[in-house]
Chain A
Amino acid sequence: MPRPHAPLWLAGLALWAIAALAAPAAGLVLAAAESGTPVMLPALLAIAADSLVLAAGLTALALALAYPLARAVTAPWLLLFVMIAPLARAIGALALGLSPGTGAVALARLAGDVPLAALLLRARLRTRPRSWLDAAADLGAGPWRRFVAVEWPHLRPAYLLAAVCLALLAMGDATIAAVAGGGKRYTLGLALREAVLLDAHPRRAAAIAAIFAAVALPCAWALARGLRAAGQSREGREPPAARAGLAILGLCAAPIAALVVPAVTWPWGQGDALLRAQLPATLATAGASAVLAAALGCLTGLAAPARWSPALLLPLALPPAVYGAAWLVAARQLGWGPGDALTFVTLLPGQVAIAHAGAVAAFAGAGRLADAARDLGAGPVARARWLWWPLAWPVGAALALVAFAHAVGDAGAAAFTSGPGGSTLAVGLEILGRGGDLGAVPRWALGLGLVPLLAAALAALLRRR
């Protein structure tokens, strides 16, 4: 059937494309065209190579650990660990007693990367070809042979998608590298941040952003495909549990657990007061953008054509640092200064992408319900009242909570857009963390780490309804 209100949908897509993709891209292109000092390609390539080596190593390790974790832990728990802010993980890694450097960066990254890879693998595991595995066993194949011949070819697309996502996240990371790296580890994301905020070198920033964009485009397409496949696997069964992965979950939880003792034992100080002052604006910005993002995500997840998904998911494939840098440069071109409004605009596309992904997975197959409602005589208003609203509001509320947790913990994009001194909690926390505040930082980092837990508990409550 032809899509109703097609011009409205097209106008919406055009607006989205301008706000979320074209404006920041145009800002970077204009910045790149400015005359100034050259990019110094050899130095940039050296950083890129260093970043790539670290990303490749961590990605390989995360992928190896993800399989047992995917077999042991259910998707909501994995999502909970994915949602823990990178900043909280970085501070937690240091609280474990690790000295700043590769080890601390690796632990902070793996604590989030392994659950993310496991989440993608688990979605694929739900569609594992049980009949083929049974046939292989029946023909005499042992566990290893079955894995190689049947399970691995089935899991390969999920592994590939996870590898691209993790490598992008590791290379684009600025927060963990800045806090847990202690200046000993450099990533492309950190180089991007310094190019924009310290060196005022927009051409270099544009070159780095272009590298990420080139990788992010196919990644967004792969994400959209993976999402569709996950949506289609609703009837699939949970993979057989394997308890070995629980030890890996312990490793992922270690950085957050390490924050508990310093958080409760250190006395309250000036840092706490500073961060408390940033809390209302952070909650307001994150809350407003989360509600709007959930509404847009549900709307697009329910009604937008599937071919739009790559465009909607692109902000999820771009590291937050790239988005923040791009928007800051674009805003400067437009004469718009950093602050809460710019942070709101910068965070929104990523949140919409998260909400869209969740809504697509949640509403897969809802089209047949709409057909049934129409067949029974329900017009657009009746469908909205009797079908879409009761189905969508618990999902929308849960997605708003996820988007909220994401926005509250974000220091990657907000580091660019919040302005000097940091007008968001996470950015303020990162500044204090680099300054070595021993009392407030673990306490507030633990708070950031617990936001997803709170969000997950509320989401589970809503889901039960």
Chain B
Amino acid sequence: MTLSLRALTKSYAGRLALADVGVELPAAAYTCLMGASGSGKTTLLRIVAGLERQDRGSVLLDGRPLDGLPAERRPVHTLFQDYALFPHLGAADNVAFAPRLLGLRGPELGARVRALLADVGLDMSFETRKPAAMSGGEQQRLALARALAGEPRWLLLDEPLAALDRPLRAGLRRLLRDVTRRRGLGCLHVTHDPEEALALADRLLVFGGGRLLAAGAPAELYAAPPSLAVARLLGEVTPEPGGDGWLRPEHLRVRPIGEGSLEDMSPETFPGKHVREDISNATCHRPDLSRETVGDRPAARGTVRAIACLGDRWEVEVEIAGRVHLSRLPHAPACAPGQAVGAAWDPRCVLRFAAQDA
């Protein structure tokens, strides 16, 4: 069932929360809505759920407008950020809430509840447990089971992983993906975490100031964002040394001057020739030049300011001509703070934006 948002506009006390948002969301696709706090993404979700009313525009499901329907009659269910589990009901009763309203009773209801709990990884021992006696991850699983129990056509997820710690988040992210894929559910998932959005989404919508800034496939948007704002929302960027463009830190490579080859940081994603074998020491040591072009490749020299281990990768801060640039490496760099290094990048990876965006 295609979900269509047509020219949605909403303001609170004169402050525009959504401005003329229009987008078509294909059936059974996992769509992530990204944006900074206050960008209007939760407002959009609540309008689709029927919990807020838009000032203008309409929401359509398979071409049929939902605008006149109250929240309780819309075929969409929400996984709330704080889960909103009913505190007076046990886990099984929370899950049974929507099926009961649909008239399901007796063994059939029990079987569905047990199947859903099992689907999200909660065993029988949870059936009578109240939400207050469950951990954050368990509550999140229960909220997912409850939202799925009413067999919605679309599942709306309002930052469902925000309150969880990193390892738990990764596991539940995979669970979300599996469970929704198996059911062929359309999902609209609000998040401000680029990693979460890039990992889950088939299609990514980026919001800012109540407007839709960009829409597209996650990898494409990451590689070629239409504006600096979108680029920054999707990950860190660093200025192009000596230029007016921007680079992803993993596309800026550094090596100690005098050493051999440079490492290729992203050969799979960008299979162009990244490996720079030809930054000569002579080029890097020219005192009056911080940026050089060797052949058709740009290069520069600078000084390492700091090195940090980020777990699965390393981050190097390099000062080039008075500006600080970031480089991310998949392994420990062979340099130390204060050391002179050569930096190189592929010009095809340089992100360039219109002046007002930059």
Contacts and interface: CB of A to CB of B under 8 A. Distances in A.
Contacts of A371: 51, 71, 78, 80, 84
Nearest to A367: B84
Interface of B: 49-53, 70-73, 76-78, 80, 82, 84-89, 97-98, 100-102, 146-147, 150
Interface of A: 1-2, 368-369, 371-379, 382, 386-387, 390-391
Nearest to B53: A1
A156 B80 CA distance: 35
A373 B84 CA distance: 9
A227 B70 CA distance: 31
Most buried by B among A1, A375, A391: A375
6 contacts: A375-B77, A376-B146, A377-B73, A386-B100, A387-B86, A390-B89
A372 B84 contact: yes
A375 B49 contact: yes
A454 B290 CA distance: 83
A206 B141 CA distance: 62
B97 to A, nearest CB: 5
B101 A377 contact: yes
SS class, residues of chain A in contact with chain B: helix
A17 B185 CA distance: 51
A369 B131 CA distance: 13
Contacts of A382: 72, 101
B145 to A, nearest CB: 12
A377 B78 CA distance: 11
B88 A378 contact: no
B72 A379 contact: yes
Contact of B88 (A372, A376, A379, A390): A390
Nearest to B84: A372
Given A1-B52, A368-B82, A374 B88 contact: no
B12 to A, nearest CB: 13
Contacts of B150: 376-377
Nearest to A2: B53
Nearest to B101: A377
A369 B146 CA distance: 13
A376 B85 CA distance: 11
B101 A378 contact: yes
B289 to A, nearest CB: 47
A378 B73 CA distance: 8
A377 B77 CA distance: 8
Contacts of B52: 1
Most buried by A among B76, B84, B86, B87: B84
B101 A374 contact: no
Contacts of A2: 53
Which 4 A-B residue pairs are closest in the complex by CB-CB distance? A372-B84, A374-B71, A376-B98, A375-B78
B78 A372 contact: yes
A368 B146 contact: no
Most buried by B among A1, A371, A376, A387: A376
Contacts of B87: 369, 391
Given A375-B49, A382-B72, A391-B88, 4 more contacts: A372-B84, A373-B86, A375-B51, A390-B88
B72 A372 contact: no
B53 A378 contact: no
A382 B101 CA distance: 8
Contacts of B100: 386
A84 B52 CA distance: 45
A306 to B, nearest CB: 15
A375 to B, nearest CB: 5
B327 to A, nearest CB: 34
A376 B72 CA distance: 6
A106 B306 CA distance: 68
B51 A376 contact: no
A375 B98 CA distance: 9
Contacts of B97: 373, 376, 378, 386
A374 B86 contact: no
Contacts of A368: 80, 82, 84
A390 B94 CA distance: 13
Contacts of B80: 368, 371-372, 375
Nearest to A4: B70
B125 to A, nearest CB: 23
Given A368-B80, A372-B80, A386-B97, A378 B86 contact: no
B98 A374 contact: no
Contacts of A373: 72, 86, 97
Nearest to A383: B72
Nearest to A380: B72
Contact of A377 (B72, B82, B89): B72
Contacts of B147: 376
A377 B102 contact: yes
A390 B87 CA distance: 10
Contacts of B146: 376
Contacts of A376: 72, 77, 97-98, 101, 146-147, 150
Given A368-B80, A386-B97, A390-B88, A374 B51 contact: yes
Given A369-B84, A369-B86, A387-B86, A374 B102 contact: no
A180 to B, nearest CB: 45
A393 to B, nearest CB: 10
A372 B97 CA distance: 10
A374 B84 contact: no
Most buried by B among A369, A371, A372: A372
A391 B101 CA distance: 18
A387 B86 CA distance: 8
Contacts of B71: 371, 374-375
A382 B98 CA distance: 10
Contact of B86 (A1, A372, A377, A379): A372
Contact of B51 (A1, A369, A377, A386): A1
A374 B53 contact: no
Contacts of A379: 70, 72-73
Contacts of B53: 1-2
